[in-house]
Amino acid sequence: MTKRTSPKASRNIPVAEEPTKQLQNPQDDQTKKRLTLFIAGAIALAVSLTIYILRLDKVVGLIVDDAWYVLLAKALATGQGYTLINSPTPGITPFYTPGFPALLSIFYRLSPNFPGNVWLLKSVSIAAMIGAGLIAFRYFNRQRALPTYVAFALAFATTIYPALVFLATSSVMSECVFTLAQLATIFLIEKSVGRDSSGSLISSGWRYAAIGGALASFAFLTRPAGPGLLLGSVIYLLKEKLPKQALIFAAIVTLLVGPWVLYSRSHSPTPEQRAEQGANIVQPYSTQFWQRVAGQPLSGVITIEGLPERVWNNLSEIGKFDFGAFVFYSLYRPMEPGEPIRVPNEARMISLFFALLALAGYIAAVRERLTLAEIVTPLAMGVSLLWGWEQYRLLLPLVPFFLFYLLMGVRLIARLYQKLYAGTKPSAERIPILVVSWLFVVSAFYSNYQYLQRKYDPVPENRSRWISAFEENEAFIKHIGDNVPKDEVIATQNPALVNLYTGHKTVAFDDPAARWEVWNRIGVRYLAKTSPYQLPKPDADESKYRMIYRSGGAFGLRLIDLGPPSSRPAWGKN
């Protein structure tokens, strides 16, 4: 006999409650996930800002290029035009592109008192790195479909990558701003080819292409080493069969970059102006390209036959050292510029393994889908490999993509493992890339911690030599400003920095024997030997002239009186 359930009893069974709970749970989980991500983001932002604030110092100009950026920003901010205001002859236009100095000039106007405004100028790069981290997260999470906390780790590691932190806090260099501009351009161009849920192109795609063109133009005007971003974006848009977006992008770039190209050609320094000022600030990039070390004419030149050897040497440098530094910075790079570091053969092999792993990850990414990053990265590396300069500095803006390809290499190994062992769980792929991505964060954090330990060491002798070098150079340059008559022209290794501190007209100390007649004509009387490293003892040429001041620190900075141009002996002649 079948037992019946009474209506009253059936009402006690929570039949309707369970489906309701199941419908509510996903929403609750999503809310919790967003809240957790928000808290994690706030913590990461606080940690990043703490690192930047603790590492921030008053150093400016020791790299030399950053002194030029500040000088050009001052020229723009004070209405003197984009010219070398340190030169005895007015109106000399530099070959440096104006994007970064123009951006700095906005903040120079807000606080025109140098060096009191250095912290404000550095805040531009700090803000750029925070922005780069935010865009990197959106890009890797949304457009590259990385798990949330893997994308988060990549963005965090990019933001606090030690070399970029150093350039933002101990110099006023352009790499951080370029990194942001490049990332933002790639992000926007990818959005311009995006599709809605029905598979149709989004209607606002042309707007993203236009904004991407503006950002790509700014990136090129910040660092001319970035033509790969311009060319790569057009190639990618055409590959995606979007000629309208490609045309809009190209038109915006032509409109924004074209005037500078035409202006720089028509206002390029004359041979006389280059002979007067010296230094790579007035050297065409075409000239620097063939120099054995770009920007250093005394290093010699190479011919086209020497390019394969240069490319091979640069590739070897990237493989044996740089990829190791992308993962374990403090093992492969000095804590401060000029500091010696020995990389054993075993570590070089590990770096080479990372390079091959990244290459495998890159190929795996291309096989899945060729995105703009896979076009821009080899184009940017191609420009870098052909250039006679330290590869690491040139490749720094690609750090987020190198880390991504390393993760893709790890994922490839995990997938091969899954194929060999079919019984492995799906998490066998996610766990390795999650662990490795957070290894990047831990490594970057540890390197920053090491630097901060040195900076705040209780024993003064153990503290940062970069900061002590700046303090000695600053005191030396201030002595020049207080004791050398203002109408005297000074030759120095750092013309922009000496001018910023003293107001003296300055020229570069490049090949004085060849430029001696020019120095006599423009009235160069004093030689200020500045350097972030210990200077060698005076050679026979320098010893012929009177040293009137020597810094009391470890670097041996010297002020030399060359004598009146009408009666002094020529440099380099007995």
Residue 424: its pLDDT value, please?
62
In terms of pTM, does the model score above 0.75? yes
Residue 28: its pLDDT value, please?
77
Report, as an integer, the average pLDDT of 483-496.
96
CB 523 within 8 A of CB 568: no
Residue 400: its pLDDT value, please?
98
Q: Copy the structure tokens of residue 193.
A: 């080819």
Residue 533: its pLDDT value, please?
92
Report, as an integer, the average pLDDT of 38-54.
96
Domain ranges for the chain, please list them. Answer: 296-455, 465-561
pLDDT (tens digit per residue) in 233-246: 999 999 999 999 99
Residue 418: its pLDDT value, please?
83
CB 132 within 8 A of CB 176: yes
pLDDT (tens digit per residue) in 253-303: 999 999 999 999 999 999 999 999 998 899 888 888 898 888 888 788 999
**Sheet with strand 489-492: strands edge to edge:** 506-508, 489-492, 524-529, 558-561, 546-550
To the nearest whole number, what is the mean pLDDT of the chain?
A: 91
Residue 155 to residue 153: CA distance in whole angstroms:
5
Residue 574: its pLDDT value, please?
66
Q: Copy the structure tokens of residue 134.
A: 């935010």
Which candidate, 282, 230, 285, 235, places its Cα nearest to that of 258?
230
Tracing tokens 């790890």 back to the chain, one arrives at 410
pLDDT (tens digit per residue) in 310-323: 999 999 999 999 99
CB 122 within 8 A of CB 56: yes
> How many C-alpha atoms does 210 have within 13 Å on its Cβ side?
5
Which candidate, 40, 126, 33, places its Cα nearest to that of 441?
40
pLDDT (tens digit per residue) in 424-468: 666 678 899 999 999 999 999 999 999 999 999 999 888 999 999
pLDDT (tens digit per residue) in 527-548: 999 999 999 999 999 999 999 9
Give the list of residues 6+ apart from residue 217 with CB closer than 8 angstroms, or none.
230, 252, 253, 256, 257
pLDDT (tens digit per residue) in 370-421: 999 999 999 999 999 999 999 999 999 999 999 999 999 999 999 988 888 7
